[in-house]
Amino acid sequence: MSKDKQSSGAAGKISGFFKWLGSDLADIGTTFTQGDWKTKVSFVIMGFGPLMRGQFLRGAAFLLLEIAFLYYMIAFGAGYLVDFGTLGTQSRGFNPDGTVSYGDNSFLILLYSLLSIILILIFLYVWRLNVRQNKIGEAILKQGKTLPSVKQDFMSLLDKNFDKTLLALPMLGVFLFIMLPIIFMICVAFTNYDANHQAPSQLFTWVGFENFKNLFSFGSTGFGATFLNVLVWTLVWAFFATFLNYFLGMAVAILINKKGIKYKKLWRTILVMTIAVPQFVSLLYVCKLFAADGLVNSYLIRWGLIRTAIPFWENAVLAKIMVIVINLWVGIPYVMLICTGLLMNIPEDLYESAKIDGANPIQMFVKITLPYMLFVTGPFLLTQFTGNLNNFNVIYLLTQGKPQSMNLTGGAGYTDLLVTWLYKMTLNQTDYKMAAVIGIMVFLVTAVVSLVVYNILPSVRDEEGFQ
Amino acid sequence: MAKEQKVHMQHKKLSNGIAYAVLILISIFWLLPFVCLVLQSFRSYILEPGGMVNYLLPKTFSLDSYKFLFSEDCKFFRWYGNTLIIATFVTIFQTIFILSVSYALSRMRFKGRELLMRLWLILGMFPGFLTMICLYFLLKQFGLTQEGAVPGLILIGFASSGMGYYVCKGYFDTIPKSLDEAARIDGANRAQIFTIMLIPLSKPIIIYTALVAFMAPWCDYVFASYVAFGYTDSYNVAVAMQRWVWTNDYQGYFTRFCAGGLLVAIPITILFMCLQKYYVEGVTGGAVKG
């Protein structure tokens, strides 16, 4: 039943979109037919209408955008866009007279084609704004009112349109540094861009779902077994790293908060050291501490407790346990800080009345503290979990994903998370296509976990629920 | 009655005793690596092995490792300076970006607001390293790699920082909107409300934002090593000192790593401890509101 609802909802959205599109097109049409000649010229020369009506700031902005867009497309974008389907046909080689012929660069073709496509979409939107501006301008003049002056336009950027002023640069930054690269890499996942197809000397091209098939193929050359191995470890790691830290961190917070314990600030400060000291110092040092020739092993040998060094980082199972344990060292203080403040928010009289009823400390914890904390820190647990799925620093600084094994493909090791594997794949193997595929998988895992937790968590669903 | 009280007191003493014992044990575990780091940094790499040894206390106390860091053959202070410059600029721009985005999303209702938030949420679910290849290329086009890696890393550091608005927006949401309305009646425009009223009210969250922004570049290994690849003058401390541990470990750079690490850690730790109050406020607020 709910499924029906959903599908009808989706259908409704689609039909709604087409309805909107139809009415929008109709509106563009009537603006053109009923508009004056200034409006009509504006359909081709953007900003013409506002300029003629004295709105210089708006008019000039539209006109400049159109000129810039056309210049980009003619001088640059169109040439690349033509090759988007093939990503280039002419590889680098030699002309008959012996000079180098540079040929096509698949990387540039893909990147600039995507940029062109996005710019075209933005341009369409701006063009639509331009049309609407003309319509509004005309309507205001018809009513006998005056249009906002240049000064008013400018001032509105500090008041009514302040959001545009504030968001312009951050949005541009996210677009150029996150969105465009991510769209680019999503496309790379469907090409054969790797060490054997390196731009600019070699071409790469579209291969459809080939890489995804490779990821899920369990043959000797396929990535299937390794991927499954890394994925399972990533989830196991994220689970332990999140919940062990959470419960032990809360326990430490309760311990320090305990009545009669003195020097509370001192204990907290000692713990917080691990947050303050940059991780590359502390974790690299700890990594060396447990190395085969590190201090821990040397002292254990000297004291006669062991004969040969414990292979903390060489044994797969031991290395996995070690990263989880050392992550406690990093993570407990963080949870402790958060819990300290929250624990004090629990009304004291709840505990008092529980005590009168004869509850012991454990019962009080399970019945009062835990439900409250779980409720309040629900969102924190979610961000911690997704953060741990992508916890690059702890794994990479401690083990670099090692121990490596011949059983794993793609340069993966037994403590590799998906992200560290992705990093190695990019840097050491220059296997960009598979790195891109793994990146998409990381996204899927994160998205699925977030969605599931979002639907379970009471505090996210219902903000007023706990009273 | 008195006996019962006595038992109760004894019980309390015992449980406090256990608590202290656990706390002391925890403290030892937490501090031991740092103590070892400090001790090993004072081992001379000339008189004793500079690499891994099987004893903790140096046989002679020496400042050789520190002398090396300050000497001509080591670019340690160049790397230190690079990191400091990156961290400072990233802090300034990132704070401005986050405050701007948070104000716009918290106080203003505009078309596409929900869409923007949802889009950024989705983009945030992709691992950051995915952008690496493409960003390297873009930066290279503008000469911002290798020799120009420092400005390049600043750009990478803050350009997309607007996406991290959650904690700050959450804080802005708790400042009553009636204050805004009162200011508007007095004739203030939104820019004035933002700069004159809201920013002074948000001191804790601004300090938190700046502190987090400042600490991140000191740990940045991934992008820094990729963008500065092979050009030692552009390294930051993390990249440079990583190499001492991983590649030159057995030639005796370990004590120098300890010394350098200590010099990096001390100022950062002091800064953090001084601003700890704001940090706790920020993470707690962020944790509860998500």
> Mind telling me how many Å the CA of A338 is from chain B's nearest CA?
5
Q: Does residue B48 fall inside a structural domain? A: yes
Does B37 share its domain with B111? no
CB crowding A395-419: b at 16 or more within 10 Å, else e: bbbbbbbbbeeeebbbbbbbbbbbb
State the total domains in chain B: 2
A291-320 mean pLDDT: 87
Task: Give pLDDT tens digits for A150-208.
Answer: 888 888 888 888 888 899 999 999 999 999 999 999 999 998 888 888 777 778 888 88
**Which residues constitute the domain of residue B18?**
2-67
| H-run or E-run covering B110 | none
Query: What value does the mean pLDDT take over residues B154-183?
Result: 89
Q: Which helix H or strand E contains A175, and what residues bound it? A: none
Residues B31 and B91 in one domain: no
Domain-embedded: residue B73: no
**Confidence bin at B88 (pLDDT 50/70/90):** very high
Q: What is the pLDDT of residues A222-259, one digit of tens each?
A: 788 888 989 999 999 999 999 999 999 999 998 888 88
Tell whether B259 and B191 lie within a shared domain.
yes
Q: Which range is least confidently modeled, A99-108, A430-439, B34-43, B220-229?
A: A99-108
Domain residue limits, chain A: 35-208, 224-461
B127 to chain A, any CB pair closer than 8 A? The answer is yes
Compare all CA atoms of chain A with the CA of B223 and give the residue at the minimum distance: A423
Nearest by CB: B268 against A276, A286, A396 = A276
* ipTM over the 0.90 cut-off: no
Asked if the structure places residue B72 within a domain, the reply is: no
A269 interfaces chain B, CB cutoff of 8 Å: yes
The pLDDT of residue B208 is 92
Confidence of residue A408 (pLDDT cuts 50, 70, 90): confident
Check whether A461 has a pLDDT greater than 70.
no
Q: What is the pLDDT at residue A466? A: 43
Looking up tokens 């951050």 gives: A170
Last residue of a domain, one of B67, B89, B116: B67
Q: Identify from A17, A285, A313 which residue to disrupt to test chain B contact, counting B C-beta atoms within 10 A and taking the largest count.
A: A285
CB A398 within 8 A of CB A322: yes
Instruction: Dump pLDDT digits (tens) for A19-64.
Output: 888 888 888 888 888 888 888 888 888 888 888 888 888 888 899 9
Q: Show which of B20, B36, B67 is a domain's final residue.
A: B67
pTM: 0.88
Domain limit, last residue, from B14, B33, B67: B67
Scanning B56-95 for CB atoms below 8 A from A yields 56
**Chain segment B18-41, per-residue pLDDT in tens:** 889 999 999 999 999 999 889 888
pLDDT of residue A458: 60
The helix or strand, by DSSP H or E, that contains position B204, with its residue range, turns out to be: helix B203-219
CATH number for the domain running over A224-461? 1.10.3720.10
Domain annotation covers residue B267: yes
Interface probe for A, chosen from B8, B37, B125 (most Cβ of A below 10 Å), is B125
- Chain A positions touching B12 (Cβ under 8 A) are 260
pLDDT top residue among B9 and A161: A161
Q: Is B241 on the interface with A (CB under 8 A)?
A: yes
More confident residue, A258 or A67: A67
pLDDT greater than 50 at residue B55 = yes
Mean pLDDT, chain A, integer = 84
Report the residue from A159, A182, A392 with minimal CB separation from B131.
A182
Q: Exposed, middle or buried by CB within 10 Å (0-12, 13-18, 19+), for A200?
A: middle
What mean pLDDT do residues A275-302 have?
87
**B137 and B92 in one domain?**
yes
Residue A257: C-alpha distances to residues A264, A337, B273 (Å) = 7, 11, 20
CA distance B271 to B215: 10
**Pairwise CA distance, residues B290 & B165, whole Å:** 11
CATH code assigned at B163 = 1.10.3720.10
Note whether B107 and B227 are same-domain residues. Answer: yes
**B55 and B112 part of one domain:** no
pLDDT value, residue A403: 84
Q: What percent of chain B has pLDDT over 90?
A: 29
CA B162 to chain A, closest CA, distance in angstroms equals 5
* Domain presence at residue B167: yes
Domain identity same for B198 and B238 = yes
pLDDT at B51 over 50: yes
Report how far residue A289's alpha carbon sits from residue A311's, in angstroms, rounded to the nearest whole number: 12
Per-residue pLDDT, averaged over A205-222, amounts to: 83
